Amino acid sequence: MADSAMTADHDHALEQSTEELWSGGQEPVKASYGKLMMWYFLISDTFTFAGFLIAYAAIRFAHPAHSAGEWNSWPDPNQVFAATPVTGHANLPLIFVTFMTFTLILSSVTMVRAVQEGTRMNRKGVMFWMVWTIIGGLVFVGSQAWEWQHLIHEGMTPTGNPFGAAAFGALFFIITGFHGAHVSIGVVINSIVLFQTWIGTYDRRGHYEMVEKIGLYWHFVDLVWVYVFMAFYLL
Instruction: Tell me which residues touch other proteins (CB under 8 A).
Output: 28-31, 36, 39, 43, 46-47, 50, 54-55, 57-65, 77-78, 93-94, 98, 101-102, 105-106, 108-109, 111-113, 116, 119-120, 212, 215-216, 219-220, 222-223, 226-227, 230, 233-235
Find the shortest distance in angstroms from Cβ 194 to other proteins. 19
By beta-carbon proximity to other proteins, the closer residue of 31 and 199 is 31
CB of 198 to other proteins, least distance (A): 22
Q: Which is nearer to other proteins, 144 or 232 (CB)?
A: 232
**Residue with smaller CB distance to other proteins, 110 or 161:** 110
Distant-in-sequence, close-in-space partners of 48: CB < 8 Å, separation ≥ 6: 178
Q: Quick one: 103 or 161, whose CB is closer to other proteins?
A: 103
Q: How far is the CB of 213 from other proteins (least distance, A)?
A: 11
Q: Which is nearer to other proteins, 54 or 152 (CB)?
A: 54
Rounded Cα–Cα distance for residues 104 and 142 (Å): 12
Shortest approach of other proteins to residue 193 CB, angstroms?
17
CB of 150 to other proteins, least distance (A): 19
